[in-house]
Amino acid sequence: MHHTIILYLSLIVIILFLVMLAQRIKVSYPIVLVIGGLALSFVPGLPVVTVDPQLIFLIFLPPLLYEAAWQTSWKDFWKWRRVIGSFAFGIVILTSCVIAYVSHMLIPEFTLALGFLLGGIISPPDAVAATSVLKDVKVTKRLITILEGESLLNDASSLIVFRFAVIAVSSGTFVFSAAVGSFFMVIIMGFAIGMLIALLFYAIHRWMPTTPSIDTTLTFVAPYTMYIAAEEFHYSGVIAVVTGGLFLSSRSQIMFSHLSRMYTNTVWSTVGFVFNGIIFMLIGLQLPVIIQQLGDTSLSEAINYGLIISAVVILTRMASTIGASYFTVMISRFIKTADSRPGLRGPVIFGWAGMRGVVSLASALSIPLLTDNGQPFPQRNLILFITFVVILVTLVFQGLTLPMVIRWMNVKELDYSMSSHEQDVMIRRKLAEESLNMINTRFADQITQNDLLQSLKYKLEGDIGFLDHIQQPEEISSGFADVTVYRSIARELLANKRALLHRFNKKEMFEEEVIRQHLAQLDLEEEKIRQQFLHMD
């Protein structure tokens, strides 16, 4: 047992170094992790790392989906709901159908049911890989919203297709009408279960005497409860987690205290990073195991199949996103759409961002070894290998070229007239003005009598003057030297305060707990300085 623990601890350390390498060479970390895992898999003497698909579905998938839902803006999600829904369900099903027929014609003894099985496996893109690439390049808010929204739902649709295809291959029967009815039932009941459990957790957070630690712990219990409850009744656990996560995240300002929000955000960002890192590393480590299981199919044939299917996956998504743009123009004549003329630049970027990842690998690995009649599951090993090739090609090839495509398309922000910096400054100024006006009107008689209130007034006036200095974009460049000097001096002052607190801590007269409280306050002040100029870097 301790050897397994040591192995995974070593993998985590390797993951950390590879992520730092990715930051240094400015390449998306999932790409570096997959390539690193691939390289590690050929190291002589390294223990074979096998992936239990149930481990990924049960341990990794619920919290990762929950975190993604928690970070998604419900306002933006609802604005682009039609586009997200059509991509998450329509394009996934279309891709599954195209892959089904192409693989059926391409691969000998590959039935149409096996084709749908392969299509259900490789149809959903992985948003973690795409967003990790997009964070280093300038893209529109619209693109990020649609991409993240699609990723929340497409796993559900692909897994449902996968489930029906496995049944068809194993039993040898498939009734279309029954499958369609079951498809909608799985989605609707998954939604209902997710909402019911989310309401229960909302009541606990809102009305029970919780603490930040309890709130954080409950946020880990919630996604597993939603997923397991839905899957226990054979409904969509993915839909349940996404539904519950979106509902609770939209009400976090009501049900959480400020400390609970700070605790949960910090913990979840770390957990999400570690889980994603482990999964992408495991993808690369699976190659030797998959190659050994190819059986009668030669490696060269399997590679050819994988490359052809990868090309079909990429072209199908590109055609779908571009076709969706033309369809939006046509349908906008009859119904109101968020954007009646989306153009082609955005759809091209969106189509090229369709990288495959963990859900595809986990689905392939979860194919049963035997059919219902006890026979070996047909073409299982070949499906596994093709899935790995598709993940590798889309993740590495598309991931490395996506920044170039984005720069080439040069899409402008159309949804917001002000830049992020201008929005930030305007909001901060309005908040400071409102607070200052409230002090001067409602508490004017207490200003001269209360030194603390007077200090707060002076601070707000200083904040307004500071924001006026950096408000206009043309003033940013002219005042950039002042900003740089200000940040340098502010950070030096904070460093000096920390040093003084460490000296105080060596004296018997001061409690270390009090010192730690002041150090934490300095951390918040430093983060405030960083946030003040975040959009100016």
pLDDT tens-digit map of 2-30: 777 887 788 899 999 999 999 888 888 88
Q: pLDDT band at residue 288, thresholds of 50, 70 and 90? A: confident
Other beta carbons within 10 Å of 65 = 26
Could you give the count of Cα atoms lying within 13 Å of 444 in the half-sphere of its Cβ?
4
Domain co-membership, 453 together with 398: no
Residue 238's pLDDT band, with cuts at 50, 70 and 90, is confident
- Measured CA to CA, the distance from residue 521 to residue 511 in angstroms comes to 16
Q: Are residues 203 and 341 in the same domain?
A: yes
**Total structural domains in the chain?**
2
Whether residue 350 is predicted with pLDDT greater than 50 in this model: the reply is yes
Residue 480 has pLDDT above 60, yes or no: no
Q: pLDDT: is 269 or 423 the higher one?
A: 269
- Helical ranges in 366-479 per DSSP H: 380-392, 399-409, 420-442, 444-447, 451-469, 473-478
189 and 59 in a single domain? The answer is yes
Lowest mean per-residue pLDDT among 405-409, 473-477, 519-523: 473-477
What letter does residue 413 receive in the DSSP assignment?
P
Q: In this model, does residue 51 exceed pLDDT 60?
A: yes
Would you say residue 420 has pLDDT above 80?
A: no
Q: Is there a domain that residue 265 lies in?
A: no
Same-domain check for residues 403 and 425: no
pLDDT at residue 476 is higher than 80: no
Give the residue carrying structure tokens 């992985």.
126
More confident residue, 426 or 218: 218
Residue 2 belongs to a domain: no
**380 located within any domain:** yes
Residue 224 pLDDT exceeds 90:
yes
Distance in angstroms (rounded) separating the CA atoms of residues 479 and 159? 53
The proportion of the chain whose per-residue pLDDT surpasses 90, expressed as a percent, equals 18
Q: For 437-453, what is the mean pLDDT?
A: 83
pLDDT confidence of residue 477 = 47
Look at residue 341 and tell me if it is in a domain.
yes
**Collapsing DSSP states into helix, strand and coil, what is residue 119?**
helix
Q: Which among 107-116, 291-300, 441-450 has the top mean pLDDT?
A: 107-116
> Do 119 and 250 reside in the same domain of the chain?
yes
pLDDT at 460 over 70: yes
> Bigger pLDDT: 423 or 300?
300
Mean pLDDT, rounded, for 237-247: 91
Lowest average pLDDT, out of 2-6, 8-12, 50-54, 154-158, goes to 50-54
434/485 same-domain check: yes
What SS3 class is residue 267?
helix
355 token code pair: 């990288």
Residue 300 falls inside a structural domain? yes
Nearest partner of 460 among 438, 479, 480, judged by Cα: 438
- Report the pLDDT averaged over residues 289-312: 85
- Cα(282)–Cα(148) distance, rounded to whole angstroms? 23
Closest CA to 18 of 283, 221, 206: 283
Give domain status of residue 129, yes or no: yes
CA dist 202 and 484 (Å) reads 44
Range name among 193-197, 200-204, 318-322, 524-528 with the lowest pLDDT average: 524-528
20 versus 509: the higher-pLDDT residue is: 20
**Which candidate, 212, 64, 125, places its Cα nearest to that of 72?**
64
- Mean of the per-residue pLDDT values for the chain? 83
Cα gap 293→384, rounded to integer Å = 9
CA geometry: angle 447, 450, 452, nearest 5 deg: 100
Looking at the predicted structure, is the pLDDT value of residue 160 above 60?
A: yes
Instruction: Pinpoint the alpha helices (H) of 208-353.
Output: 212-232, 237-249, 252-255, 258-285, 287-292, 299-331, 345-352
Asked if residue 278 lies in contact with residue 15, where contact means CB atoms within 8 angstroms, the answer is yes
Half-sphere exposure of 93 (CA within 13 A, CB side): 12
Q: Across 202-216, 250-264, 342-356, which has the greatest mean pLDDT?
A: 202-216
391-397 mean pLDDT: 89
pLDDT of 205: 94
392 and 442 part of one domain: no
The number of residues in the chain equals 537
Contact yes or no for 463/494 (Cβ under 8 A): no
Amino acid at 222: A
For residue 200, is pLDDT > 90? yes
Domain with 500, as residue range(s), is: 420-536
Task: Report the pLDDT averaged over residues 364-392.
Answer: 83
Mark which of 390, 409, 428 sits at the end of a domain: 409
Tell me the CA end-to-end span of the chain in Å, nearest whole number: 47
471 with 390, same domain: the answer is: no
The Cα–Cα gap between 344 and 325 comes to: 7
pLDDT score recorded for residue 173: 62
Mean pLDDT of 292-318: 88
Here the contacts of 224-228 (C-beta below 8 Å, separation 24 or greater) are 224/58, 224/62, 224/63, 225/197, 225/201, 226/62, 226/66, 226/193, 226/194, 226/197, 226/198, 227/58, 227/61, 227/62, 228/58
Which span out of 4-18, 111-125, 210-224, 515-529 was modeled with the highest average pLDDT?
A: 210-224
- b/e per residue 157-180 (b: at least 16 CB within 10 A): bbbbbbbbbbbbbbeeeeeeeebe
404 lies in the same domain as 424: no
Q: Which residue would you say has higher pLDDT here, 193 or 168?
A: 193
Mean pLDDT of all residues in 31-36: 89
372 and 444 housed in the same domain:
no
The neighbouring-strand residues paired with 245 are none
CATH number of the domain bearing residue 148: 1.20.1530.20
Query: What's this model's pTM, rounded to 2 decimal places?
Result: 0.81
Task: Answer yes or no: do 405 and 429 share one domain.
Answer: no
Is residue 50 a part of any domain in this protein?
yes
Do 456 and 381 share a structural domain? no
In a domain, 6, yes or no: no
Last residue in a domain, options 386, 409, 432: 409
Could you tell me how far CA 182 lies from the centroid of its own chain? Answer: 28
Which residue type, as a one-letter code, is found at position 261? R
Chain-centroid distance, C-alpha 516? 33
